[in-house]
A and B are shown apart, each in its own frame.
Chain A
Amino acid sequence: MDALAEWFRTLYETTGVNLTIVYDAYDRQRFVSGLGMTIYLSTASVLISIVIGAVGAWAQGSPLRLLRGLVNGFVVVFRNTPPLVQIFFFYFGLSPLLPYVEDMDGMRAPLFSNVQWAIISLSLFAGAFNVEIFRSGIEAVPRSTIEAVESLGYGRLGVYLHVVLPLALRVCLPALNNNLVNLLKTTTLAYAIAVPETLYVSKQIWTDSQNVPTMMIVLLLVYVGLVGVLVWIMHRWERRLAIPGYGQGAAR
């Protein structure tokens, strides 16, 4: 480890490429925890936004006009406003209006931390798009298939959960994939409310270590890698869901 650190120190002295995140223990620890926070934000908001999309798209088909109206209103608000404005709205606008709680030390603390607000607003932002993405998939399920499920005695929820959603998911996965990639990249906006994610810790590192150009390249490569992993997972999911003799699965 020491030899490796020494090599990176020499690299800096000879080329100017200053990777303190490799040879400096403190920077390394900060960077790794920032990466961990990005992965945490992404995973949580990806999962929650998928649930929002699936539930919202179901509610859009509800016989209750009020419920349909609420979902449509939600989609309009969260699709038509910038995600950074949404994060500020929650953190600076809504949070102070909510009741405060006592933290472990008996101090007055807000109901949700900045990390939790980031997850909430990112999930709602991506969820609004996911509702529309799931809807496109649902509309691709033939009416006659739904009639067949109904005639087997399924209720509305059963039809949705057992047949419509599984089929819709397969249709809308490519679009969902795109939106989730966007979501992962949008987690960098949590920087603005001091969530110590990758961009935030990188800024701390480049301020302290004066290695701005190096960190910029590191950031780009880190996000290429993170999105690469997400895309890989989504493609594996897509392959697992492929149906023999149907759509993409027909070629296999």
Chain B
Amino acid sequence: MGADALTSPASPAATGWTPDQPIVSIRDVRKSFGAVEVLKGVSFDVRKGEVICVIGPSGSGKSTLIRCVNALVGIDSGSITVAGREVNDPKLDKLALRRTVGMVFQQYNLFPHRTALQNVMMAPVQVLKQDKREVEARARALLAKVRLSGKEDAYPGELSGGQQQRVAIARSLAMRPEVMLFDEVTAALDPETVKEVLVTIRELAEEGMTCILVTHEMGFARSLADHIYFTDRGVIVEHGPPAEFFAAPKDERTRAFLGQIL
């Protein structure tokens, strides 16, 4: 999997980024939709290999925040850099950014007209113009990794929610991203299938993938995250390593939220 290192979009030659710097750096980001300010100055850093969980009540801006990281949502002010690349730059090379950042969504968003294998293969072949046979071998390996061997030729409509979400994870990984964004990826799943998706994410994190998760799975956040950020009404209210954060939340709002959810 390291054969692509020379052309990796995160290589220092491309952006001047070195692994000792944060791979994602968010500085004073503000974003409004109409009159509603959803992000009111959010800042944090993610280092390579770290797992970050963003939690908070719905409407607190956490999904918007991670959508800003791969430029699905533009920001009004502030700065987001990913591997040294400024996202809030009109001349941003979106393809290079989106090669670096993979994203998995709440509603899986697989392409219903393509089989599981084709879903995983499409972007590397069509966007990155990689060799089809090489991509196919990689796609099959990725599907095996997310425990979907034998489902290569199934269409998304023939798979369960948990299976679809794992295909979506494999599809993102096929682009060989440096950072993975997970936007409430288990929120649409039934309780039995939540676990199979969480296991996949855990394995990924343990292999050293940098992960930013927006999640409501507190147990999962506590056991996996290196750092927890709690957002409410567009600001980070409190953050810390999970042991501290869950054991002794300092802010009143954090306590109220955790009290409701746990």
* Residues of chain A at the chain B interface (Cβ within 8 Å): 142, 144-145, 147-155, 158, 162-163, 166-167, 170, 241, 243-246, 249-250
The 5 A-B pairs of least Cβ separation, nearest first, read A245-B157, A148-B109, A152-B123, A246-B157, A153-B98
- Given A152-B171, A246-B155, A250-B157, does the pair A144, B126 have CB atoms closer than 8 Å? no
Chain B residues within CB distance 8 Å of chain A? 70, 72, 94-95, 98-99, 101-103, 105, 107, 109-113, 122-123, 126-128, 154-159, 168, 171-172, 175
B161 to chain A, nearest CB (A): 12
User: Would you call A244 and B155 a contact (CB within 8 A)?
Assistant: yes
* A246-B123 contact in complex given A145-B111, A153-B98, C-beta closer than 8 Å: no
Nearest Cβ on chain B to A137's Cβ, whole angstroms: 13
Residues of B within 8 A of A250 (CB): 157
The answer to whether A170 and B171 touch across the interface, beta carbons within 8 angstroms, is no
With A153-B175, A154-B127 already in contact, the answer to whether A144 and B157 are too (CB < 8 A) is: no
Residues of B within 8 A of A155 (CB): 94-95
**Cα A147 to Cα B107 with chains together (Å):** 11
Chain B's closest residue to A242 (CB) is B113
| B157–A153 touching, CB < 8 Å | no
Q: Look across to chain B and name the residue whose beta carbon is closest to the beta carbon of A244.
A: B155
B98 and A152: CB pair below 8 A? yes
Q: Are A147 and B123 in touch, CB under 8 angstroms?
A: no
| Residues of A close to B157: CB separation below 8 A | 243-246, 249-250
Q: Tell me whether A162 and B156 are in contact in the complex, defined as CB-CB below 8 angstroms, given that A153-B175, A167-B112, A243-B112 are known contacts.
A: no
Q: Are A151 and B103 in contact (CB under 8 A)?
A: yes
A243 touches which of B98, B109, B113 (Cβ 8 Å): B113
A153 in contact with B109 (CB, 8 Å) = no
- Given contacts A152-B175, A158-B127, A167-B113, whether A147 and B158 have CB atoms under 8 Å apart is no
Q: In the complex, A159 Cα to B65 Cα: how many Å?
A: 23
Q: Given the complex of chains A and B, what is the CA–CA distance between A148 and B99 in angstroms? A: 13
Residues of B near A154 (CB, < 8 A) are: 123, 126-127
Could you list 26 examples of A-B contacts with CB < 8 Å?
Answer: A142-B107, A144-B109, A147-B105, A148-B105, A148-B110, A148-B111, A150-B98, A152-B123, A152-B171, A152-B175, A153-B127, A153-B128, A154-B123, A154-B127, A162-B122, A170-B113, A241-B113, A243-B112, A244-B157, A245-B156, A245-B157, A245-B158, A246-B113, A246-B156, A246-B157, A249-B157
A163 and B111 CA atoms in complex are apart in Å by 7
Other than A142-B107, A152-B172, A166-B113, give 7 A-B pairs with Cβ distance below 8 A: A142-B109, A144-B107, A148-B105, A148-B109, A153-B123, A167-B113, A245-B159
Residues of A close to B128: CB separation below 8 A: 153
| Nearest neighbor of B100 in chain A, beta-carbon distance | A153
B155 and A245 contacting across the interface, CB-CB below 8 Å: yes
Give every chain B residue within 8 A of A166 (Cβ-Cβ): 113
B contact residues around A246 at 8 Å (CB): 112-113, 155-157
* In the complex with contacts A145-B109, A244-B155, A245-B155, A162-B126 CB distance below 8 A: yes
Task: Pick from B109, B127, B159: contact of A147, CB below 8 A.
Answer: B109
Task: Give, as a whole number of angstroms, the nearest-CB distance from A134 to chain B.
Answer: 16
Residues of A within 8 A of B172 (CB): 152
Residues of A contacting B155 with CB < 8 Å? 243-246, 249
Chain A neighbourhood of B110, CB < 8 A: 148
Question: Provided the pairs A144-B105, A144-B109, A145-B109 are in contact, do residues A152 and B72 lie with their beta carbons within 8 angstroms?
Answer: no
Distance in angstroms between the alpha carbons of A229 and B157 in the assembled complex: 31
Give the shortest distance, in Å, between B211 (CB) and chain A (any CB): 15
Give the CA-CA distance A163 to B105 in the complex, in Å.
17
Picked from B99, B112, B159, the residue with its CB within 8 Å of the CB of A153 is: B99
